[in-house]
Amino acid sequence: MTAQIPVCRGEVIVRYLSVLLTTNLFLYEGRPMNINQEQVIIRYATSDDARQIAEIIVEDWKIAYKGIVDSDFLDSMNVEERYQRELQRYQIYKVAEINGEILGLTWNEFVDNEDSDCEIIALYIKCGKRKSGIGRIMFHDSVEQFKAAGKSKMIIWCLKENYEARKFYEKMGGLEYKYGTHKWGNRDYDMISYTYNLNELER
């Protein structure tokens, strides 16, 4: 099981925006789209994005998992340490940008498992930009990337106790699947996965 990185709680209540339904918006890197009259660009991350990526990740961990993950572990997280880590691996991310500000990011991987051939390993939305529709955009961008590569069985893992994130994944069409555990700090946490048949998934 791949370790799941947490999703901001605000992500699970994103609004449905009709602009997200326009055809082919998610197929082209760098192609702009509009949300509330602001232009959103989905693209691969660069080294210049590493600090904003680190800030979003640390903030989301501390907010999304407060009361779920041990406070000592959350308190130990800091932006500078995370920045140094993300500076070494920024290439794994795709980001959603408005006017130079990173509002969300995903980490997508191709896998070769019996139950899946692709995985959204992480989906983050900046908590201050909740309800903007960015979460839905990023999710569907991942789906289109996988479909374009001929993939059809997607999986997502999240903490079992993260009920708000689970509602979002279910709303996006996920079916509850396997259970597992993952260790952060000195504690094992229960995990749950959702699967998606990409050939049947509707926007």
- pLDDT of residue 125 exceeding 60: yes
Cross-strand pairs, 97: 41, 102
- pLDDT of residue 1 exceeding 60: no
- pLDDT of residue 203 exceeding 80: no
CATH of residue 94: 3.40.630.30
Does 1 fall in a domain? no
- The whole-number pLDDT of residue 79 equals 97
How many domains does the chain contain in total?
A: 1
Pairing of strands 93-98, 175-184: unpaired
Structure tokens at 121: 């390993």
Does 202 fall in a domain? no
Residue of 184, 187, 141, 131 lying closest to 9 (CA atoms) = 131
Helix or strand (DSSP H, E) at 93: strand 93-98
Does 181 fall in a domain? yes
**Mean pLDDT, residues 95-116 taken together:** 94
- The whole-number pLDDT of residue 128 equals 76
Mean pLDDT of the chain: 83
Q: How far apart are CA 142 and CA 200, in angstroms?
A: 15
Quickly list DSSP for 133-178: SHHHHHHHHHHHHHHHTT--EEEEEEETT-HHHHHHHHHTT-EEEE
Does 56 fall in a domain? yes
Q: How far apart are CA 37 and CA 33, in angstroms?
A: 9
Does 99 fall in a domain? yes
Helix or strand (DSSP H, E) at 86: helix 79-87
Q: What is the pLDDT of residues 144-197, one digit of tens each?
A: 999 999 999 999 999 999 988 899 999 999 999 999 999 999 999 999 999 999
Structure tokens at 189: 């946490």
- Give the residue numbers spanning the domain of 88: 9-197
Q: What is the pLDDT of residues 21-36, one digit of tens each?
A: 222 333 334 444 555 5
Sign of CA dihedral 76, 80, 85, 89: positive
